[in-house]
């Protein structure tokens, strides 16, 4: 008696069928895509208009009806800005202050978040609720006392006057605390039993686990410090100490406002932050979700 090989019955490829169904466009999907593209165009149009305006001659900027595309590319506005303003100095000021604020905020908030999450000390709950209350107070309400205090210290028109008030970041402390709260208790207990100090536990155990969150918060802090206009505008009166957002207001001309030059310095001021965002877009989005109370 011989055994006859029966060919296996081919089962329908459910996975491929399901994938084809998912790839098939639906009316709701098409409608959502169209709306998303329209909203993206509306968001990008001011950026496009700023770039185009900076490349137009001043006579073409004021033309009616508006010229959507320049007939000739003119970089005179960029040349004037780079040669007649202190934009290089403003770049240095913005870089120094943004980097210093980022390092101080991340380091101090990391320490504070770890202490409130993992250590036991008197007044811990009071301190935490005070941070939550401080998060609810708008920064504008502190402008007058801060300016008076810094004026008494003679820190007006100084780096420390620009940097120190911006180091206050309760939301960053809260984010760090929430992530340290989710760390396994056994991890810290085993490190303590091995004789590790709190500094070593934080920087050798806790920080590497939360390195992605730390990087995301650092990027968002840097972007916020670079773009901050209100406080540097209040604390600086000398043009040499202004940051890029404040320096934009100083690009004037004896014959009135020069729109091409204003747009040129606006493009130059936003270029570093735009490049930083494009490079670290995923980390920035992750940080925004975390500070909004969402977990990925």
pLDDT by residue for the chain (296 residues), tens digit each? 455 555 554 545 555 555 655 567 788 888 888 999 999 999 889 889 989 988 888 778 877 888 787 777 888 888 888 888 888 899 999 999 999 999 999 999 999 999 998 888 888 888 888 888 877 888 888 889 999 999 999 999 999 999 999 998 888 898 898 888 888 888 888 888 888 888 888 888 888 888 878 888 888 899 899 999 999 999 998 989 999 989 888 776 544 567 888 888 888 888 888 887 788 777 667 665 655 554 44
**Cα–Cα distances in angstroms (integers) from residue 284 to residues 66, 143, 219, in the given order:** 36, 28, 7
The alpha helices in the chain, defined as continuous H runs, are 14-23, 27-54, 58-61, 76-84, 87-118, 124-136, 143-152, 159-163, 170-181, 185-193, 198-200, 207-209, 211-227, 230-235, 244-247, 259-279, 281-291
Q: How far apart are CA 281 and CA 192, in angstroms?
A: 37
**Cα–Cα distances in angstroms (integers) from residue 271 to residues 23, 62, 95, 247, in the given order:** 37, 25, 13, 15
For 270, half-sphere exposure in the C-beta direction (CA atoms, 13 angstrom radius) is: 12
Could you tell me which of 280, 270, 228 has the C-alpha nearest to residue 51?
Answer: 270
Q: How far apart are CA 162 and CA 146, in angstroms?
A: 11
Place of tokens 């250590």: 119
Q: How far apart are CA 291 and CA 296, in angstroms?
A: 12
pTM for the full predicted model: 0.79
- Tokens read off for 292: 């909004």
- Domain architecture of the chain: domains with CATH: 14-54 (no CATH), 79-291 (1.10.3720.10)
In this prediction, residue 1 carries a pLDDT of: 45
Q: In sequence order, which residues have a C-beta less than 8 Å from that of residue 289 and are 6 or more positions away?
A: 295, 296
CA torsion sign, 273 to 278 to 279 to 282? positive
Could you tell me which of 206, 189, 220 has the C-alpha nearest to residue 111?
Answer: 206
Q: In sequence order, which residues have a C-beta less than 8 Å from that of residue 231 and are 6 or more positions away?
A: 139, 143, 162, 165, 166
């Amino acid at each position: 008696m011989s055994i006859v090989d029966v060919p296996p019955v081919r089962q329908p490829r459910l996975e491929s069928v399901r994938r084809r169904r998912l790839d098939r466009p639906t009316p709701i999907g098409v409608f959502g895509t169209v709306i998303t593209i329209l909203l993206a165009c509306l968001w990008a149009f001011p950026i496009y208009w700023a770039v185009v305006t900076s490349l137009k001659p001043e006579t073409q900027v004021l033309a009616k009806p508006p010229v959507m595309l320049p007939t000739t590319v003119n970089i005179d506005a960029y040349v004037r800005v780079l040669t007649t303003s202190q934009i290089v100095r403003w770049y240095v000021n913005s870089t120094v202050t943004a980097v210093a604020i980022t390092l101080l905020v991340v380091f101090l908030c990391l320490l504070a978040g770890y202490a409130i999450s993992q250590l036991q000390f008197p007044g811990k709950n009071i301190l935490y609720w005070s941070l939550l209350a401080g998060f609810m107070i708008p920064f504008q309400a502190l402008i007058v006392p801060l300016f008076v205090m810094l004026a008494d210290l003679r820190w007006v028109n100084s780096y420390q006057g620009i940097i120190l008030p911006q180091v206050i970041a309760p939301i960053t402390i809260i984010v760090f605390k929430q992530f340290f709260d989710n760390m396994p208790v056994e991890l810290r207990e085993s490190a303590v039993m091995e004789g590790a100090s709190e500094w070593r536990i934080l920087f050798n155990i806790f920080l590497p686990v939360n390195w992605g969150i730390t990087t995301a918060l650092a990027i968002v802090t840097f972007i916020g410090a670079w773009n901050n206009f209100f406080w540097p505008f209040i604390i600086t009166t000398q043009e040499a100490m202004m940051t890029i957002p404040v320096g934009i207001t100083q690009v004037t001309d004896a014959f009135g406002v020069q729109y091409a030059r204003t747009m040129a310095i606006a493009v130059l001021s936003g270029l570093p932050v735009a490049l930083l965002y494009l490079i670290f877009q995923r980390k920035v989005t992750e940080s925004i979700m975390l500070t909004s109370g969402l977990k990925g």
